[in-house]
Every structure is written in C-alpha cells, then in structure tokens.
Structure 1
C-alpha cells in the first residue's frame, strides 16, 4: 500500500444559527454539517466521497483546503496538522493541496483572462517572472485540451466544459500533490462529463496526483475512484474499495443508493430500494444511528446507540448494528 498522504480524524464542522422559539426568543443552535468524520487517502489513489445533497461532502472538502476551520478534529497532510501550520509552512501546504470547484461559471473571475486566471497562483506564490509564468500557463492549457491562442480570452467566451478545463489548469499551476475535486462534472452535459473525467485520469498519471473526488453520482465515482466512502447526515457509514462496495454493499443506505443507479438495458429488471421519508435536519439529528428513521432493517439498538466502525475484511469498514458480533 502506498504512503498515507492525508489523514482526517474525528472531523466536525458545526455552524451556529439562531432559531426563534414559539415565545419569539432567539435560541442558539448548531447545524452539524460534519459530525465525526475519519478517513485516509493514500498517495496516488482516488478516494470517492459520496452521499445525498446536504450530507457534508463539500464542507469536508473545504476544510481540507483550509477554506473552513473545523469545530473539532484534525487533518494531517504528510503527517503535519493542517491547522497548526503557520507562516511559510502554511504557504507551502497551500501549494500542495488545491481544489477544483463544482460550478465552472461562478468559480472563474470574469475580469481575468484565461492566462491571468491560470498564472495568478504563480504570482501569489512569487514563482518565476512574467515570461516563465506565461509559458507555464500555456503548457497547462495545452495539457487540459485548450489552445495557447486562447490565453487572452475571457471566461464568458468559453463553454461550460472549457471553463472547467480552465479550472483544472488553475488547480495544476502550483504542481500540487492532492486535489480536492468538489463535484467537478455535475454541472456539465453527460458527453462533456466523460471527457473531463478521462482528462483527470490522464493528468493524474502524468503529474502523479492524488484525488479526493466528491460526488453524488455513483456511476461517475465508479468510473474514476479506487476506494469509496459513503456519507450520510455528517457521518461516514461505509468505506471500501470500489469492487467490494459495488459487488457487496453492507450498509442499508449504500444498498439503497446502488439500487437507484439506472441500468441501460430494458430487459434487466432491478428492484429499487426506495428510501422512505426525508433526510432529518442536521440541526437536530436522530439519536443512535442517524439512518434509523429511513432504514428497512431498523432495530431497537439503532435508535439508542451509535454504531461503531466494523472491519468486514480487506479494509471494508461499515458502521451498522446489523453486523455487531458477526464475523462477516
């Protein structure tokens, strides 16, 4: 197994909010967007982080790149605590960890040309002179499938897929080791999604990159990821390598997600496991297992006690009372 490049332990992000009670008095509560998440990523691999909208995937990614500071927990990059680094050490860390945002329209400054957008990180970190920065930017544009003559064009002159290629090039500018991909293809047409995913795999091999790939689309995750972590209401309920997760899902939530993937063959009939009810509020999550309000296999213990992470073999981890005191 390759070296661990990123280790996330007991990560929490609680956003304070004020709620008015029936007596019109404001009461301070917290949105528990991320509530005790732990995982690790090995150098050179792609870890998928999947789940329904609002489960805390993007918030986790933003904490990893230091756009948000966690309420509790730690993030260690190459053994160093991300939120305890300061000064020059913190600056070096920011070079190593970059992000590709979900929306290729709002993530680019409309006042910046493509060339300036891609070379701006080099300016911020005082790398090279104007000539070498331009050469680097044009090389990255070619690497992501854009022509160098687009250097002086503005974002509004490009399609969605081209804009996301610009975002990828910007993320590569500082030659990072880890890139957080926050739903990088969800806003694109299906045919363009495939092009961007294939491009990301080519760049991963070329630049020896490690990805945290955040998505709600399991078909996309199956195409690009090595391991997958399934998240529900601020917690990870299952982690396994791609083959194990798709062939033998353990958690009822994972099983329901996988059953919802459409199969492009009208003769194959798959019985979908429909999840009943809505996702509970992260302000007041259910006691015990957070999934028990929608689970078909719910037991009394699920309502009272939070499940522990159980190793089902070959690093297949599941947090579910169904497997307590079982070998498999």
Structure 2
C-alpha cells in the first residue's frame, strides 16, 4: 500500500523533483562566466565618458579605474540619479569599491548608467547632426540624409517585450531624389569620411536646406515603413513560441497535479494576450538623423 501511495505521488508530480533539477551545473557555470565577462568589459567607461560629454557632466581622472563625475555648466538636473552638486567618484573595480566607501561601483545595471541610456535615447539630445563630406564624383552642395528608425512599442515593463523586438535600429541613407545609398556608404565608412561642421556655420546652413531635409525625411520614412510588418510578425512568433508551450505544459500538468492553480495558467494567458496587443500597436519611430553636405 505504501509503495502504491508513493507511485501515486510520483505520478501526480512532486515539487521535490523540480527542486532537484532546478540548478543545472553546466548552464550555471556558463551564465556565471558571461556575467563575469560582462563585468570585466572595457566598453563601459568609454560609453559613460561619451554620454557625460553629451549630458554636460564633467569627468576627471581620480586614479586607476576610477573617475570623478561633476555636474557641468550645461548639465540639466535629473538626468543622472545619484549625481549631486559635489560630484561622485565612480569605479568599475568591484573589489576596490568594496574597500572604499567613497567610491561607487559602476556596471551596466547601475541606475546611473541606466539613467544615461534613458537620457540619450529618450531626450532630444544628440538626435540631429550636420556633417560635411568630401568625395570625388559628388558635386559640392549635394545633400544626403542618414536616418535611424527604432521600433516603438509602449507596454508595461512586466511584459519584457524588449526580448522579442530588435535592439539595433534600421538605417537608411537617402538623397534628395529618394535614392537609397545605404549599401553604397555603410555607417562605419560614412563616419570615416565625414567631418564636423562648426556650430555657427551649421546655424547658417540649416535654414537654407530645410525644405530639402524635409523631403529626404519623407523619403526615408517611406523606405522604413515596409519593414515594420515583418518585425511585428517575427516578434509575435517569438512571443508565442515562448509562452504557448508554457501554457500547454501547465494545462497538462494540472490534469495530474491539482496543485497547479488556474491563476498560474491565467497569468501566462494574460501575458500572451497583452503582449500580442502591444506588438500589434508597435510603430517605427525616427530616432535620429544626420544631414550630410558635400564640400
């Protein structure tokens, strides 16, 4: 009788089995390695330094792997949480941050870094630029526009839709006649050929070319529009592949295990429905432009 009761419990499913298999050593070690690799990345400070320059934050070298951040004259309060008028000493050396109470450890997950990203992506700072280009075969005064489009999908953070939507922007390079030059001049190559234009000169040039710029913006928007539906379709497919098997698994488990509640299944169904509705309302937004004038 005891053996039969034990078999019944095993048949119904036991949480103990889930606990025994909750940690897979190989996967855990790989995940730890990726976390350590991310922490040791040398890309964080160059990003922070560039973002500080855009946001008006002054930087000063403190010592090895440490810098001092202070609000500059052009800094607008609120961009970076935790940055006071007295400044802040930051480091990306975890051991050093543990030893020094006056240093704040920086990582990609730190609220200040997240605030930098939000300020750069959501604010209007740095979303329009004017550059000059000197290339043989193009007459002086030729205009081109480089436009970046990102998928905009308002949704509750709990849906985590960024897992299913593309992170990289769509890029288009057009001229006044609507020709797509994106393949001819890739972004990296174009960067190497372009030169900055002084602000005073730019202020004089922009009013003269406003009509042409608006025309090129329309061309770029028309080129970007057909890309939205495939992105939606791919995102919906990814969401369904992630959530529908979980719903089916819980429904099958409920047949043999009364401990599975309707609320658990309902949660995933609601997540799926909300995610599908949000993706259907996604749009392509122009995230930034660079106007290029040949010299």
Output the TM-score relative to the length of structure 1: 0.18
Larger strand percent: 1
Larger Rg: 2
Output the TM-score relative to the length of structure 2: 0.20
Higher relative contact order (CA 8 A, sep 6+): 2
Larger helix percent: 2
